[in-house]
Each structure stands twice: as structure tokens, then as C-alpha cells.
Chains A and B, each alone.
Chain A
């Protein structure tokens, strides 16, 4: 990981979300807000439809780096802005596309910029991961 060049794509993938994915994430995370599984509630609060949990999008975006990193301990910091909700259609679901590019490199660390989009629209803003370039010690 020492020859990173700013602009290099280090990982990329598309994740297909269905309503099952949202129910699974609700159970795993404990976030049972019905706007993530009930069309009735989503409609009542004025949403165009059922939305993916922002934290699901954030979580699957950084997991795109897993294989490249080799060790999750290399992730030092990760932040995002939730700029646009991801609508998950009951039949068609939704695709989330993640591209991870090198944004900056220093001696010990790199900043990886994630472009996360659904249906051609970016859904996370300033999605940046600070990673260690060298192996980290574990207690």
C-alpha cells in the first residue's frame, strides 16, 4: 500500500438493496424506524417511499474497502454527510454504487474518498475514510 497515487481507484462495487436488506439491517442494528420498511408510514410522513437507513448506506460503502485493506484495523476515521435518501422500491429495489479513490496520501496515512450513488445521484457527501498505510498492532 506504499505506492498509492491520488486519483487511483482502489475498490469499487455495486450492492443491490431490496426490502429484505432493509429489514435485515433493522434487525442487525436495532433501528426499527418504520420509514425503512412500511410504505404506509413513509407515505403518512410525506416521503416518496420507503428509504434505506442512512447508516446501512454508510456501512456498506466502507465495507467496499475490506478486501483492499486486508485488516479492518487500518480504518482510523470515517465520516459522511447524508445528502440524499435512497428510495428502495418494493419490487425493483435499488442499486448503490460505490467507488473508492485515493484522495490524499501522506507518509503513514491515506484519505480514501468514496463516491456513493444510487440511480446516477450521489447519496453521501464528503464520504472520507482515513486509513493507516502500515500494519497496526493489536493488543
Chain B
């Protein structure tokens, strides 16, 4: 099954709020070798003016992932996980993610393009906080291999 071009413009429901935990921030920081103190030391984060521990930039993927699962589980998407490769990734922040944030993500599909036998799907996930203010937009380009 080819990737469904009708994914572009489809409305996806916002994800249930994701509460950013302080220990999750510490765990993620350690996993990506982010050793600056504001990721693990509350005093250091507060000294920079943040309310709580600051997540490393790419922590946004954890919340974005919830929307990529939505995309994969669309019954008519034509996107087969085992033939999908992550081609590109981009984040654009208004502010860093901080422990205590309640984040909601909303997915849209910006484009579906053919690339030889493959398809390239560009997804955009807008992540907002409990006040509805923009935090970060995460863009993924997925490359889906054609049927062998």
C-alpha cells in the first residue's frame, strides 16, 4: 500500500496532557550526555530563572513521539513501521521544556511526496503548555520504503 496523500490536512486529536517529571528530565539528560547543572540541579535551574529543572532540547521528542504513534496507527496511512526510516528532524522552540510542564501535542501532516519507489512524509507536531502557549514545534521527515 502506498502512503495515503489524504493524510495532508487531516485533523488529529490533541494528545492527552503529558506531565514532565523532574526525575524524567534527570534521566533523559543523563541518557543524552547533557551534563550542564540546570538539567539535574534545582538551584542551578532556578539561578537561570527557571521554575524547575530544564529538559535538554531534544526531550521534545518524547512528547512528539505520542503524535507519531497516532500517525502510524491511522488504519489507512499506508505507513509500514518496518519500512520507515527517520530521515530528518527539526525543533523550533519558543522556550525550553521545564519539569512541571503539562504539554499537549497536535499533529499535522505537512506533505506526502514520492521519491522514486519511496515516499517522504513530513509531519509537524505543535507542542503547547497548559496555558495553550507555544513551547516547541517538532518536524520529522519519515522515509517509507516502497513494497519490495
Interface residues of A (CB under 8 A from B): 15, 21, 24-25, 27-31, 45, 54-56, 58-60, 62-63, 66-67, 70-73, 75-82, 136-139
Set A27, A63, A80, A139: member contacting B89, Cβ < 8 A = A80
Q: Please, how many residues of chain B have a CB less than 8 angstroms from a CB on the other chain?
A: 36
Contacts of B56 in A (CB 8 A): 59, 62-63, 66, 72
Q: Which residue of chain A lies nearest to B95 when distances are taken between CB atoms in the complex?
A: A73
> How many residue pairs between the two chains, A and B, have CB atoms under 8 Å in the bound complex?
109
Q: Which residue of chain A lies nearest to B143 when distances are taken between CB atoms in the complex?
A: A82
**29 A–B contacts, CB within 8 A, in A order:** A24-B31, A25-B32, A27-B31, A28-B24, A28-B27, A29-B61, A30-B65, A55-B58, A55-B61, A56-B32, A58-B58, A58-B89, A59-B32, A59-B57, A62-B58, A63-B33, A63-B35, A66-B34, A67-B36, A70-B48, A71-B38, A72-B36, A72-B38, A72-B57, A73-B54, A75-B96, A77-B90, A78-B90, A138-B48
